[in-house]
Amino acid sequence: MERNYPLISHTFSHPNLCPSPIAPHPSPFLMDIEPFFDNWCYLRTELGWLDRVLATAVARQRKDTKEIEHVARSQSDRVTSHWWKGIVSLEGTISSDSPADMPRKGGTGLSYQQQMESKIRVSQQHKVVLGLPTLCQRLSLTPFEKNVVLMALAPEVSRRYGKLYTFLQDVNPSSASGLPTVDLLLRLLCRNDGEWRSARLAFAADATLVQHDILRLPISSTEPFLEHPVKLADPIVEYLLADQPDIMLLDRWLQKTADLNTATLSPAVLSAESPLAALKLDTWEPENLTISGIKTNAVLQITPALEPSMGSTLVLPEPLLATLRHLGDRIQYAQQVDEQLGFQAGNSMDDLGSIVLFVGEDGTGKTTAAQAIAQQLQVSLTSVDLACLTLAEQRQLLVELTTEAPTILLLKSAHGWLGRNAVLTAELQPFLLGRHRAIALTIFSTNRKELIKPSWQRQMNQILTFPKPNQSRRLTLWQQAFPAQAPIANDIDWNALARLPLSAGAIQAIAREAAICAVADDSVSISMAHLKQACRFRGIKL
């Protein structure tokens, strides 16, 4: 009996795609194709295709459900419908899902794939970096593998896709992950048994996407393989969703995973490693600084490890991440832009440095973000908690900072200097003017924006708000909270943990508390029971 698969290889005429065939050499037709404006423009087009695929699948599933309910007389009839449907004539017609006789839409005669390849080629000729096509070219991915990556990426763009996947997978929404399963991907992206058998190999342990840690499937599970959820590695998501994807980051990721595969490491080690995770805070060495002979823990010098990029440890909204990267770029490329591109002559000396305000509750990532920027620039971070200093120490600190001129300066409890009752206004103005005139970044951080005097707020280059993580980001934070060497039991309910409205700092603290509980129990791994115990110790109901 023929397997029922929703059709995906629609051919249509898209208004943004030129109907020109791929040719070995540029043709006059290719000259008329407009390139994609940026990576997001490309993704919107691909997601438009996915919308049509899902709309077809949803309509077909609703139609099948209606037909089955019309005929079925019991629960057993419904369960066995895949046996008798197609033999019993429903409403006088026999349903067929074969794509062979589907008429092509549009008058170009070209497939969607041909149109996209033409537009991608023109975009790359215009130096427009496209994340997914570059990944496909680097790994020689098949169209099926490309579409798997696209479908796994979609829930990272909109929760709507997760809801559609849940409907098509016929699972309880309360327990659904919002991720596509292996079964759903095969059903939507294959047209017959032959394609299904071949495509299933794309999820094997030695398959390209799995070997390079692009796709992550459960390492061990009691569920059938077809029910395994398929998730993209977080750094790959960040790369694919960037306005201008960083190809160097992608190449480093692929090289690192290739080296790991050559070393024949186990899948567990591969999933724990994160080649793009340049922000490894456990390698930073804080040192107390001495202020005129007074040593205090309020002033720390934090030196990063020699890692080249901002890593994936930051779990923040993409627009905020992009702004943080740009703050680092303003320092990293300032000299090159001024000297090589000639901007030095016309540049105002009062606009070289950035002074920004980070606003957010404790544990939302303000300090981690400052460390990530310093990591990006490979410079030390000078961190000061103004609330821990006396007024005399604050004055002396101001003198020391003017002399030392650190590249990255984080000033916590910013209301100590910028609040309505602050007393160092006269000394602070020339200090901040000097910071504006240096290629440097000065970060003030506070829990509440209203603690900062409005006149000081107006002097900030930017005010960045760090939100509490949503459930999706909390899930990532929980999974990142345990070091690679920490043994994790299989019974941990990650979704239940993610539903707790906690900050990143609180999640990290509970994970460590659970590890203490596990060691105290002489347990071989950290289990869900240990996490419940840790939550109880901290007054959190799980």
CATH of the domain at 311: 3.40.50.300
Q: What is the pLDDT of residue 150?
A: 94
Q: Please report whether residue 50 resides in a domain.
A: yes
pLDDT tens, per residue, the chain with 542 residues = 344 433 333 333 333 333 333 333 444 444 567 888 889 999 999 999 999 989 888 888 777 666 655 555 565 555 455 544 544 444 443 333 333 334 444 445 566 777 788 888 888 888 889 999 999 988 888 889 999 999 999 999 998 998 888 888 877 666 677 899 999 999 999 988 888 888 888 888 778 898 888 998 876 556 788 888 999 988 899 899 988 888 888 888 888 777 665 543 333 333 333 332 233 334 454 555 555 555 555 666 665 544 434 444 677 888 888 888 888 888 888 878 777 776 665 555 667 888 999 998 887 888 888 888 888 888 888 888 888 888 888 888 888 888 888 889 999 989 889 988 788 888 888 888 888 888 899 999 998 888 898 888 988 999 999 888 888 888 888 888 888 788 888 888 988 888 888 888 888 888 888 889 888 888 888 999 999 988 888 888 77
Same domain membership, residue 185 and residue 219? yes
Closest CA to 444 of 480, 479, 420, 417: 417
Picking from 240, 265, 295, the residue at the C-terminal end of a domain is 240
pLDDT of residue 300: 64
Last residue of a domain, one of 409, 437, 465: 465
| Model pLDDT, residue 68 | 55
What is the rounded distance in angstroms from the CA atom of residue 411 to the CA atom of residue 220?
45
| Same-domain status, 313 and 235 | no
pLDDT at 6: 37
Same domain for 447 and 501?
no
Of residues 327, 301, 287, 295, the one with CA closest to residue 401: 301
Note whether residue 270 is domain-resident.
no
Does one domain contain both 516 and 422? no
Gyration radius of the chain's alpha carbons: 28
Helix H, strand E, coil C: the string for 96-147 is: CCCHHHCCCCCCCCCCHHHHHHHHHHHHHHCCCCCHHHHHHHHHCCCHHHHH
Q: What is the pLDDT of residue 313?
A: 61
User: Are 192 and 311 within one domain?
Assistant: no
* CATH at residue 524: 1.10.8.60
Are 503 and 417 members of one domain? Answer: no
Q: Residue 17 falls within a domain, yes or no?
A: no
Residue 20 lies in a domain: no
> Alpha-carbon distance 542 to 537, whole Å?
11
Please count the structural domains in the chain: 3
- For residues 37 and 174, state if they share a domain: yes
Considering the domain architecture, whether residues 321 and 459 belong to the same structural domain is answered as yes
Distance, in Å, from the CA atom of 508 to the CA atom of 133, rounded to the nearest integer, reads 36
Residue 358: inside a domain: yes
Which DSSP string corresponds to 425-450? Answer: HHHHHHHHHHHHTSS-EEEEEES-GG
Can you name the residues that pair with 229 across neighbouring β-strands?
A: 181
C-alpha closest to that of 519 among 534, 540, 505, 504: 534
Which pLDDT does position 404 carry in this prediction? 84
Which one-letter amino acid corresponds to residue 366?
Answer: K
Backbone angles phi, psi at 105, to 5 degrees: -95, 145
Question: Cα–Cα distance between 514 and 489 in angstroms, integer?
Answer: 12
Question: Could you tell me if residue 227 is inside a domain?
Answer: yes
Q: Which residue range(s) make up the domain with 488?
A: 471-537
> Residues 146, 211: one domain?
yes
**Final residue of a structural domain among 418, 436, 465:** 465
Residue 431 sits in the same domain as residue 293: yes
Output the pTM of the full model. 0.45
Q: d(Cα 311, Cα 131) in Å, to the nearest integer?
A: 18
Q: Is 19 helix (H, G, I), strand (E, B) or coil?
A: coil
**158 vs 138: CA distance, rounded Å:** 27
Same domain, 212 and 337: no
Q: Kindly state whether residue 72 falls inside one of the protein's structural domains.
A: no
**Same domain as 350, residue 208:** no
Instruction: State the pLDDT at residue 47.
Output: 92
Domain-located, residue 15: no
